[in-house]
Structure 1
């Protein structure tokens, strides 16, 4: 035994992002920022307010830049983390209270905003709800950046990862975690934080093992220590012994074997144990992701988000540029269907293209977006429809209209589609005359009156994310209420059943996309309700397909009946979780 080897110490925290990582430690110390405090004369209060407004603007621009970078590297869902930060900078209560604090104390703005901000942080930290407590970290991140812009102090940390390390810190601000070089990051371990912290969300999206809520691990670790992170059980082992490394090596191999088996099984036909076929499609954001969908065993593309063409450009993409992107995608899918969602961009994700004429809105989810924008901009909409139609000559392409609220909008959209078809016929350009056009059911009015949409729709696709937040009046980006977002709320389940019933009576296929479709715990219930096509993120497909293959249609229907008859969302989810865990147990 090596007498010079440091003693093994184990810490227990919260398993936040699955996986096992092992390597040298990199201690991330938050750079200290000083907050000046001094009296200002009453005639300078106006200039202090102007400094405050300038700093708010600068901070907003910095966070928007971080959001754009995360969107490009990790995707839109992860980028939305920073929408909450942007909302803090528009919080009139916080801004107004800071100005009143300046007027009453006659002190500089840095001192006042720091004092007011920390009152909010303290209040959040005392809330019982874990999700709301975690928002204190987001507010603190924004507050530090605001003080930095007011004082000119840099927040940049000199300690950059130059090699592969496990990062250990008291806490990691979301903006810092998003900017860490994934190529040099093995795992994360923090004293603070919970499963719902934005740093954890970023770690999960990057497939980085993470354990949080460790207490004081950052104070116990030395720069030359070796650290093992167990993101499955929530343990961190400092200077693990050879026996510990061997044991965790076996655990890592076991999980890798399960993942490998799931991927292998994902190449099998997607059907239940009793032979009932279920289509498992992939969600993609660009033509380049189509190959991954094929590799992972997807039955097609159920949601092609076309916004990336507009978010990643400073000028409007031409019809030819759009056509090439859609054509390349459908050719990659080699005969499998590709459902293209028409332009769905609004005040919640503003493009850099001035010609679109989009501005930020106070309530973007209820604003000027998606089909509303398209119907109001005929030339823009027709250009996209022409590009999609032209690409349909190369494979099985289908069109899907987002945010349809009723039959009148659907009729207008279809009229534009016919205009585009007439133009192409006149120009002698080939396209699929029988191309299918469907409606996204993501607004309560469409769900309630979906029988009126049957005549104008070739199919229905339920957009679960927006439908849930509209049904139960929960803004997923509002940190104070996002914890109320419940996919197993009885209203949600009954609405899904209603849409399926209307589709079945009208002989229209009903699919579902969004987070519900990719949650293997919820999938059996969805199938039991009568949904036979799900569109999910490619990385989630192997697990979902395994669950489908591990159950019978009767079991799925029994779960759906249970969910429809129960009034408690927690009980419903608990029953679904038990069923899921029983299926997964066969893999171990």
Structure 2
């Protein structure tokens, strides 16, 4: 084998499941070349008119794409473009652009590009993956607007229509407009240097059942047109110029994974209960209304965690209004009725800064002014969200959940504001839910060790394992130097989770688990044995978790829990959990399909 065709293995982020191989088609997105020039004062109104016409033209283009996607793929996928329309209608973005023209006297294209760049930089700096992925929407829309202002007739087609055979698309960035214009039969898979699991392009790729790997640095430079490429959307691997052995091995892996996935999916409509009849509710985590079809397809029993940060942070300089929030919550609650929807109030701060840096940059944001702490100090902002949820709850079965509760005092203060909201809605003559259920997240050690007191004052608890582990072990998950110390198998973590469940059950309060542990089939038997009433996760992970639950007994899960809690070392614990998992899977699907 020549040096040029030597096999290269690239590691990225698994975004859409599946294994494919074929020739690569490499496409590089180019930035729009935006001129800058002075505009006479007498022509400034003309610049504003050009901007308005470009916005209308862009809106028309997006609506046409939306209509086409609804026809070809489905309404739920088409709803992705509603986010683009929201960007286009963002009053702050429009007003800032107009002000920039008036203040600088420069042309509208230049001013809009500067304002859009500030928005992109703001969201791109966030650690939260979902909020960061909204950058792609802003970039996509701003490119359309700039192209229309400059009189360009095309955004630059990827040229896939000219391909004589299906290819794997490799690009520095793949946005949802790219995916929308591609004919499915011409694409085997996606490889992108940027993006994450929650980008709209990835959501659409999953809907189209196109395997995808993202976050591959320099992929569009390392891979050349017509290189043979394997895309492993399960493990996030891309193999360039694979050897014969690699092709054979991945052919076998692909067949096994497709078979086991079909087995999981074939059982997803069956009840989520152990072989000896113990029920464990399986719920979905979502972040927007566009995920509702996935929730229904996965046969989730409702939404256990509806993250609202992407809804509340619609604008950079201000939080979304009560009415805008109500519209979004109402859509989800009504479409999923009578299934329950747990709406978590604003969890901002820590790795998610507020628009306009409203409370300043902190030295240690994870320990600082975030989530319920921010909401209680800013009751008018908090009450806007509470009122929106109370109104939306009349359309189905909504529940309310507060994040980062450290003790019962915060819970009672939040509930007092909730009662004030009910009175204000009543005075306004608005319909609202009088008896909405309220729950508390358990993610701080102080809350974990007072779970019995908290449980007495709410309807349910939800253990957020990601933050609980982080706080208990003093490990910042986004700090590469110590991220290896983040360990769900730590005895202190597991004993704490068991204690929370036991304390809550003593008060007849149900307990959910909604962190990453809940979606890991290795940990699921342990959580079931501990007594978790409900597990909540991404819809795509539900089939495997439900399959695991249906192949264990409550008796064996409790025996496993007793054994695990007696062990003292994380590695020893994980080894035993892994051994149990493999034993269940061997009996359920056979040794050939063991991971």
Match for residue 257 of structure 1 among 251, 255, 259? 259
Q: Tell me the equivalent position of 1:298.
A: 300
Contact 2:130 2:198 in 1 (8 A): no
Shift of 1:565: 0.9
Shift of 1:477: 1.3
Shift of 1:253: 4.2
Shift of 1:232: 6.9
How does 1:68-467 map onto structure 2 within 5 Å? Answer: 68=123, 75-76=130-131, 162-163=159-160, 165-166=167-168, 186=189, 208=211, 223-229=225-231, 236=239, 238=241, 251-314=253-316, 315-352=318-355, 354=356, 357-467=358-468
Contact 1:399 1:436 in 2 (8 A): yes
Shift of 1:179: 7.4
2-structure distance, mates of 1:479, 1:279: 35
Q: Tell me the equivalent position of 2:566.
A: 565
Q: Secondary structure at the match of 2:517?
A: coil
Q: Provide, for residues 419-465 of structure 1, a one-character-per-residue CA deviation record: whole Å limited to 9, x for no partner.
A: 11222333443333221111111111111122221222111111111
Q: Does 296-305 or 356-365 show the bigger shift?
A: 356-365
Shift of 1:512: 1.0
Q: Secondary structure at the match of 1:321?
A: helix
Q: Tell me the equivalent position of 1:548.
A: 549
Q: TM-score, normalised by structure 1?
A: 0.67
2-structure distance, mates of 1:399, 1:204: 29
Q: Provide, for residues 275-334 of structure 1, a one-character-per-residue CA deviation record: whole Å limited to 9, x for no partner.
A: 111111111111222232112111001111111112232443222222222221111112
Contact 1:211 1:235 in 2 (8 A): no
How does 1:463-474 map onto structure 2 within 5 Å? Answer: 463-474=464-475
2-structure distance, mates of 1:291, 1:188: 25
Return closer, same or farther for 1:268/1:411 CA change in 2, 3 Å cut-off.
Answer: same
Q: Tell me the equivalent position of 1:519.
A: 520
2-structure distance, mates of 1:372, 1:520: 34
Q: Does 300-309 or 321-330 show the bigger shift?
A: 321-330
Return closer, same or farther for 1:235/1:293 CA change in 2, 3 Å cut-off.
Answer: closer
Q: Secondary structure at the match of 1:479?
A: coil
Shift of 1:466: 0.9
Shift of 1:371: 0.8
1-structure distance, mates of 2:128, 2:157: 19
Q: Secondary structure at the match of 1:320?
A: helix
Q: Tell me the equivalent position of 2:102.
A: none
Q: Which runs of 5+ in 2 are unaligned?
A: 29-115, 136-155, 161-165
Q: Secondary structure at the match of 2:311?
A: helix
Return closer, same or farther for 1:567/1:178 CA change in 2, 3 Å cut-off.
Answer: farther
Q: Secondary structure at the match of 2:257?
A: helix
2-structure distance, mates of 1:397, 1:486: 33
Return closer, same or farther for 1:347/1:238 CA change in 2, 3 Å cut-off.
Answer: closer
Q: Does 408-417 or 318-327 show the bigger shift?
A: 318-327
Contact 2:125 2:132 in 1 (8 A): no
Contact 2:127 2:351 in 1 (8 A): no
Q: Secondary structure at the match of 1:75?
A: helix
Q: Secondary structure at the match of 1:273?
A: coil
1-structure distance, mates of 2:128, 2:504: 37
Return closer, same or farther for 1:178/1:7 CA change in 2, 3 Å cut-off.
Answer: closer
Q: Which runs of 5+ in 1 are unaligned?
A: 30-60, 81-158, 191-196
Return closer, same or farther for 1:211/1:380 CA change in 2, 3 Å cut-off.
Answer: closer
Return closer, same or farther for 1:77/1:258 CA change in 2, 3 Å cut-off.
Answer: farther
Q: Does 392-401 or 62-71 show the bigger shift?
A: 62-71
Contact 2:346 2:372 in 1 (8 A): yes
Q: Tell me the equivalent position of 1:65.
A: 120
Q: Provide, for residues 237-287 of structure 1, a one-character-per-residue CA deviation record: whole Å limited to 9, x for no partner.
A: 73777x997886565344223223312312211111111111111111112
2-structure distance, mates of 1:64, 1:481: 31
Task: Give me the CA root mean square deviation.
Answer: 4.4
Shift of 1:211: 12
1-structure distance, mates of 2:547, 2:383: 41
Contact 1:8 1:239 in 2 (8 A): no
